[in-house]
A and B are shown apart, each in its own frame.
Chain A
Amino acid sequence: MIALDEAQAATIREHGLRTYPEECCGALLGRFVDGLAVVELAWPIVNVRPDTRRRRFLVDPRDYLTVEREAARRGLEVLGFYHSHPDHPALPSEFDRQHAWPNLHYVIVEVDAGVPREITSWLLSEDRSIMREERILPARRTA
């Protein structure tokens, strides 16, 4: 389970709206509270795909390292990443599954004709065979 409060959800929607019709992406930093991943910061990152940004996103490995360093500096964990699906439901694609890392929360926002819609969250199964949906708790629950 993941906790995503309205302020962070708004950041994700707003980012998806800004990059529409291309995909947006960003990191989710936060902490674990009794097994619950609580997002404290949704951090927009540049989609560095050189092509097909309407259907693909890529985080530069150097940006990934920056995210890890920044998380450590703030005493937070890298909980996962978010991206948008322009004009497509917030369901993970086969490409999402193939490229997913374990133990990271993948948050997807559907942006339909420029209007942000549903936000969902997914985790890769340990055998890599599927992405499992998880509940998103709206309220922030910090220790």
Chain B
Amino acid sequence: MKKISILVLVIGMLLIVFSGTAFTQVVLKIAIHTDFNREGFDKYLEEYTKLNPNIEFEKIAVPFEDYLTKVSISHMSGNAPDIYHVYSLWGVDLVKSNVLDMPPQDIRNDVYENYERVAVDGVTINNEIWGIPTEIDNYCLVYNKKILADSGFSEPPKTWDELINVAKECTKYDKAGNIIQYGFVFLAGWESAVVHPYLSLAYSNGASFLNEDKTKCIINSPEGIEALEAEVKLFKERITDISGSVWDFPNGNIAMMIMAPWDEGNLKGTMGDDYQYVGVAPSPVMKEPATLLYTWFACVDSKSKYKKEAWDFLRWLTGQIQADKRTTRMGDYLVEKIGAIPSRKIDIDNHYDELFDQYTKTFVQELKYSIAEDNIYNGAEIKITLMNEITNAWLGEKTSKQALDDAVKAINAILSKD
């Protein structure tokens, strides 16, 4: 009896062991930031699992401001996600620290041949493509047609000098001299918010942020200083102040702002019928049309146990053209759920109706003037340094020249460290 029990036990254990090896469940951990985690994303994960029953997903949604921290800590702890969706500026730090896996050659070829040039630039680090671009974001002038019309303007400004004049007419004050209706407000709240519109204006004035080989910051050129002084003028003439916020635009007391395409959903959702008064125009130029563009890209962790499965999933999500719509699933998700511009050419071509709507059309048209953000090591620290100096100039703590000279000194010290 005892021998039979032992035999049954051994057979049972063998069955358990071999049944496990016959069907290995792969759990792919995918980390995205919360603004990217909209309704509909899970649908793609479920669809892929139906096609590949041995693959499951664990989705980790992290607020944007905590995303890089999450990547760092989870990589350090050995518990890193398999798939990331990262902001292109973080790419250099991640590549330099061997966090990212080099994409397979077919994916790199596909990105090079089938994506917008600026998007390819965004994922190129040290002349290599390190991920699959997803959304691309540039900047345009978003304005309230009703406020402009009430102030006597039927068209938005085309140049920065025109913007200052229009903003002056649209700004209203209370008896104590406080601004109650802003002619213009600046985007603020994080480093990109302050730096991107400034760099767009500086590029429009013919300035460059870095030299050719990206070893020195040269934004304190006369053109760069002129561009910052153009922004500062709005503060000096009390057309705007730092307490004005773009998030108040739906309240109907802001005439103009420089904004990215991803705000469409927010404006539609909060403005209701007043959304009809939202207009989008190219960013006012100083010398020539230009705007800054930044990218997000999907990539795989270098220490992932399931690199092949991760890249296969990303191939399916971003590269497989759906026969009926002639778009990719990622393209559908970006356009329909996020309100962002996809970076694959076929998605831009075949989402015509959604992309060429009241809001996004101008952003797409301005892609030809968009300049990709420079991918540099310590990019976050460099941008925060520039943001601090821009804010110092806005607030009159420093002149534009002093602010940019100090920014360049600090940034060059950061660039020369590694």
A, B assembled together: no
Q: Residues on A close to B: CB < 8 A?
A: none
